[in-house]
Chain A
Amino acid sequence: MNYKHFAKLVILSTLALIIGVIESLIPPILPFLPFVRIGLANIIIIYTLLILGSKEAYAIAAIKSIFTGLIIGNPIMILYSLPSSAVSLTCIILLFKINKNSLCAISCVGAVVHNLMQLLVAAIMAGTFLVLSYAPYFILIGSIAGYVVGILALILAKRLPI
């Protein structure tokens, strides 16, 4: 790994962290579902996947998950975020290698998988599968958020490749 590559990784992980922290500070978009966020920091993770590769994307996803939770003082968030990011990123990379779908659709799948994983963690933590009643919202909102994130990451990678 050369210095240039390392510097890119540092800049991108800092960006992902800052976006993650800022997004957790702004009030929820939907007042009745307070935990719903677009996940703008994921733009950086997908951008990293496109520009640098899968190992680097995993690294930034892990850094973002762990440190956003620590910085905003909600370490339990890490339990939700870390496994969900890992599984959803793996799905995204697999679909990308199959190369049948556009990045927007792949990102949709990634976001929905991410949300359903979080729901699964919530079900395990709460000890009840009743939280699965949030599934319709999570799938619908995940698809929209995933599309937005995917399209922004692709535009960014095409216009601003570092």
Chain B
Amino acid sequence: MNTSKFNYTKQGYFKKADLFIYALLILAVVVSLFFLPKGKGAYAEVYSDGKLYGVYDLNTDIELKIEGEEGYNIVVIADKKVWVKEANCPGQDCVRHKAISKVNQTIVCTPNRLIVIIKGKGDIDAYTGGGL
């Protein structure tokens, strides 16, 4: 017994109007490429629980243990890159995330409310304006 109002049995795998959708999707990918991060970063801004935790120079190697209200993350800066080495969050997506180094790249750990954002040389005074 088929209770659905949709007649799928005659549905094929392609209709002419699909071309419009595929063209639109390709256009969307091309347009969104402009949002891709470019340029080498100079500083890493670390936010914990919605507040700025600290700003770190990418040239200085450091290992930070950031204790938030929900848990901890260990953030490593080395080799002009930033990554999360360890965290006690359930997803572990932040730990698996590749190291970031380009302007505007982010690592977000939603369960622990941790955000790392890379900033360029000219952006360093931007965070005094509030940023987040």
Contact = CB atoms under 8 A, between A and B. Distances in A.
B8 A128 contact: no
B73 interface: no
Interface stretch (A15-23, A59-67, A81-89, A133-141): A133-141
A130 B44 CA distance: 14
Interface in B66-111: 90-93, 96-98, 104-106, 108, 110-111
Interface residues of A, number: 47
A10 interface: no
Q: Give chain A's interface secondary structure class.
A: helix
Given A5-B3, A96-B6, A108-B25, A31 B98 contact: yes
A96 B8 CA distance: 10
A108 B22 contact: yes
Nearest to B114: A126
Contact of B96 (A34, A77, A109, A143): A34
A130 B116 CA distance: 11
Given A31-B98, A51-B4, A136 B35 contact: yes
Interface string B34-66: 011100000000010010000000000000000
Given A51-B4, A102-B12, A133-B104, A139 B98 contact: no
B17 to A, nearest CB: 4
Contact of A100 (B15, B25, B50, B93): B15
Contact of B93 (A34, A96, A103, A143): A34
Contacts of B15: 100-102, 105
A136 B33 contact: yes
B126 to A, nearest CB: 12
A6 B34 CA distance: 48
Contact of A131 (B21, B22, B47, B108): B108
Given A49-B4, A125-B110, 10 more contacts: A31-B96, A51-B4, A74-B111, A76-B111, A105-B14, A109-B21, A127-B115, A130-B117, A131-B106, A136-B35
24 contacts: A5-B1, A34-B92, A49-B6, A52-B3, A52-B4, A53-B4, A56-B3, A74-B90, A76-B111, A101-B18, A102-B14, A105-B18, A122-B108, A122-B110, A126-B106, A126-B108, A127-B132, A130-B104, A130-B117, A133-B35, A133-B106, A139-B29, A143-B29, A157-B8
Interface of A: 4-5, 28, 31-32, 34-35, 49-53, 56, 72-74, 76-77, 96, 100-105, 108-109, 112, 122, 125-128, 130-133, 135-136, 139-140, 143, 151, 154, 157-158, 161
